Amino acid sequence: MPHSHTHDSHAESSLPEHQPDHVTGEVLERVSLQVRLVNLVGVVLPFIGLIVAIWLLWGVAFSWVYLVLLFVMYLISGLGITVGYHRFFTHKSFETPRFMQALLAIAGSMALEGSVLKWAAVHRSHHQHSDDEHDPHSPHTHGAGVFNALRGMWHAHMGWLFRSHSISLQKYVVDLRRDRLIRTMSALFPLWVLLGLLIPAVLGGLLTWSWTGVLLGFIWGGLVRIFLVHHVTWSINSVCHIWGSRPFKSHDESRNNIVFGVLGLGEGWHNNHHAFPTSARHGLRWWQLDISYLTILAMSRVGLASKIRVPSPARVAAKQAG
């Protein structure tokens, strides 16, 4: 399959038209620096705790075997979300063969963030209603004051997962539901989750030739890995709408955050993404590490990705904030 880059000169073609209330012209109340620092610490602290746990358990319930399993499974499921669920299925920022579509769906499902259809529907809804009252996970719709700001942070990070949606999400994935492969992979979501837990358990057992290795492979390559992928993904919804820079004009509070630009495999360059939703590249500057885009480029070198959409230099310049 030939490799090509396509300058993205149109709005998100797969999304419904913006409703008038999406761009209200209202100024969003800014969260104070103090509250933003508390929010950031609240998200980053669990990762620090995990690092301490790894250090304390080294040689007892953790070793290079489980570190490699954790890292590899994090990359597989993380890229399944960022390259597969997000940039391919949701935004159609590149094309790839059918067998790769299936593999990306499987890898993304292993992250235990919902099926392809559900994930894409929620994310497309987020883009249409970003930071207004219909956004499924905005931190900016809970009123003024420190308490409400923290409540909004909780909602954006994971609280929204426990609330019903006020609007139907099915209309956001009409195009995806027409595809039999996507419907099938989405329906088999529980199977792929189970596979994501079995693989590190089996590898842990084979690499250590012990039942303890099976258990620890399951824990570190399975459960802990899912914990990490979850909180990094949720931090894009919460931290990256509160803390960071806004180099591009947008009708929301999306921000670039270097911490989650790295941990999120490029997803943390969130203001860039909201300015250019269909772009396969989120790290638009040379220093903005975007592992997901580098993965797509590597796929293109071996014929597994084509028609890669990136914004033209003129569009990038036109959208820069004054």
**Amino acid symbol at 57:** L
The C-alpha angle 310, 311, 313, rounded to 5 degrees, equals: 125
Cα 123 from Cα 108, distance rounded (Å): 14
Question: Which one-letter amino acid corresponds to residue 257?
Answer: N
Query: How many structural domains comprise the chain?
Result: 1
Mean pLDDT over 243-253 rounds to 91
SS3 7: strand
Q: Give the domain range for residue 91.
A: 5-318
Exposure pattern of 47-74 as b/e (b: 16+ CB <10 Å)? beeeeeebeeeeeeebbebbeebbeebb
For the chain, the average pLDDT equals 87
pLDDT digits (tens, 9 = 90+) for 36-78: 565 556 566 767 878 888 898 998 899 999 999 999 999 999 9
- Total-model pTM: 0.86
Average pLDDT of the segment spanning 86-115: 97
Tell me the per-residue pLDDT of 255-304, one tens digit each, with 9 for 90 and over: 999 999 999 999 999 999 999 999 999 999 999 999 999 999 999 999 99
DSSP 231-292: HHHHHHHTGGGTSSB--B--SS---B-HHHHHHTTTTTBHHHHHHSTT-S----STTS--HH
Cβ-contact 119, 182 below 8 angstroms? no
Rounded Cα distance between 269 and 266, Å, is: 6
CA distances 281 to 5, 195, 272, Å, are 11, 29, 9
The sign one gets for the Cα dihedral 101, 103, 106, 108 is: negative
Rounded CA-CA distance 89/111 in Å is 15
* 146: pLDDT strictly greater than 90: no
> Given this model, what pLDDT does residue 31 score?
47
- 157 membership: H or E segment, kind and range: helix 146-157
Q: Is pLDDT larger for residue 224 or for residue 135?
A: 224
